[in-house]
Amino acid sequence: MNHIRLASPTLRFPRVPLDRFVLPTVGVEYLPIPENADLRGFLDVLHARESRREFVRAPEDRDVSDLLWHAFKTKQRRRNDDGYRWEHRPAPSAGGLHPISVLVMNRPPQRDAVFLYDPIAHALGRIEPVNRDVVLSFFSAVNSVLPVGEAAIVWFVADFRLTLSKYENGESLVWRDAGALGATVELVAEALELSSCAIGITGEPFVAQITGNVPMLEGVGGCLIGKRPIARESLPPISASRTSARRQSRGPVQTGDRRLR
Ligand SMILES: Cc1cc2nc3c(=O)[nH]c(=O)nc-3n(C[C@H](O)[C@H](O)[C@H](O)COP(=O)(O)O)c2cc1C
């Protein structure tokens, strides 16, 4: 078995500070600020979180907006003495660099459009031009590990150049940032009572092509987000005989061999 051992990062010296590469977008859709109505307690959310793979409907625009705000919004930023921009967001990031940007896809009615989240303005902009065939190939790659259906695709694209400019052997820092983001988005999805499931592919080579083949800008995974089926306990009561008939007809959960779990 081949094992690529990622070297341990060290602070690069001397170094030339960089800013994160910002993908050019067209149009700006400012998103509403969440109302924070009826938010659940943190420990309740933490223990209730699980990978939920049924997406009965697309998330509403409001769901997407709330999810982006709670999981990814920038709260503070400043320029450090070493010239790097430091940011504070809900998920931690090595050096406060936040090299990972968030793409949103499969949003009706423009399902093949690719939106970039702006965590300062809390807004979405559309990446243009994108090769629709590449977007569809990407959807198909995601779909081969987990049926996408109506779910929104939330994908992470990392600017490795930013982290590597500050840290020698910084690759593992970027991957750990991706893990921190993945956990954060899933906890937020749980708090918002949405279905969410991480996807095990990186998204390459498609994400690099979708984002214009910028050097060292690469897909580092993502997740699906959608409306979850109505919880059994919130359904109106039904007779015992109908319950047992439903139970018998459901059968075992089907899992495809190609799913990465
Ligand atoms: C990095 C990562 C990649 C994953 N990839 C997939 C995937 O491709 N398909 C899938 O159905 N679940 C995927 N999962 C979800 C795991 O299967 C799931 O977390 C695991 O079975 C434990 O279940 P739980 O999340 O409900 O605790 C992934 C999870 C992580 C953290």
Domain ranges of the chain: 12-33+46-230
Q: What distance in Å separates the CA atoms of residue 184 and residue 190, rounded to the nearest whole number? A: 10
Closest ligand 1 atom to 255 CA = 11
HSE-up of 162 (CA within 13 Å, CB side)? 26
Q: What is the pLDDT of residue 199?
A: 98
- C-alpha 1 – ligand 1 centre gap (Å): 22
Q: What distance in Å separates the CA atoms of residue 245 and residue 23, rounded to the nearest whole number? A: 53
For residue 157, what are the β-bridge partners? 101, 219
Residue closest by Cα to atom 1 of ligand 1:
200
Residue 26: phi and psi, rounded to 5, are: -120, 150
Residue closest by Cα to atom 31 of ligand 1:
198
List CB contacts of 100: < 8 A, sequence separation 6 or more.
Answer: 93, 156, 157, 158, 159, 174, 177, 178, 181, 220
Q: What distance in Å separates the CA atoms of residue 100 and residue 95, rounded to the nearest whole number? A: 13
Q: What is the pLDDT of residue 38?
A: 73
Q: What is the pLDDT of residue 250?
A: 39
For residue 115, what are the β-bridge partners? 104, 126
Q: Which residues of the chain have pLDDT under 50?
A: 240-258
Q: Residue 56 in 3-state DSSP?
A: coil
Q: What distance in Å separates the CA atoms of residue 48 and residue 46, rounded to the nearest whole number? A: 6
Q: What is the pLDDT of residue 40?
A: 86
Q: What distance in Å separates the CA atoms of residue 85 and residue 19, rounded to the nearest whole number? A: 7
**For a pocket test of ligand 1, which of 53, 176, 197 has the largest count of ligand atoms closer than 8 A to its C-beta?**
197
Does residue 94 contact residue 176 with C-beta atoms inside 8 Å? yes
Tokens of 53: 């793979």
Q: What are the Cα distances from residue 23, in Å, to 64, 101, 125?
A: 20, 9, 10
Q: What is the pLDDT of residue 35?
A: 87
Q: What's the first-to-final CA gap in the chain, in angstroms?
A: 19
List CB contacts of 104: < 8 A, sequence separation 6 or more.
Answer: 64, 68, 114, 115, 117, 124, 152, 153, 154, 155
Position 24: which residue type? Answer: P
Q: What is the pLDDT of residue 84?
A: 97
Residue 75: phi and psi, rounded to 5, are: -100, -40
Q: Is 145 in the pocket of ligand 1 (CB under 6 A)?
A: yes
> 12-33+46-230 in CATH: which number?
3.40.109.10
Residue 77: phi and psi, rounded to 5, are: -155, 150
Q: What is the pLDDT of residue 230?
A: 82
Q: What is the pLDDT of residue 246?
A: 41
Residue closest by Cα to atom 12 of ligand 1:
261
- Residue 159's CB: how many other CB atoms inside 10 A? 26
Closest ligand 1 atom to 179 CA = 1
Q: Is 259 in the pocket of ligand 1 (CB under 6 A)?
A: yes
Q: What is the pLDDT of residue 104?
A: 98
Q: Residue 67 in 3-state DSSP?
A: helix
pLDDT tens-place string over residues 229-250: 986 656 666 554 444 444 443 3
**DSSP one-letter code for 8:** P
- C-alpha 196 – ligand 1 centre gap (Å): 10
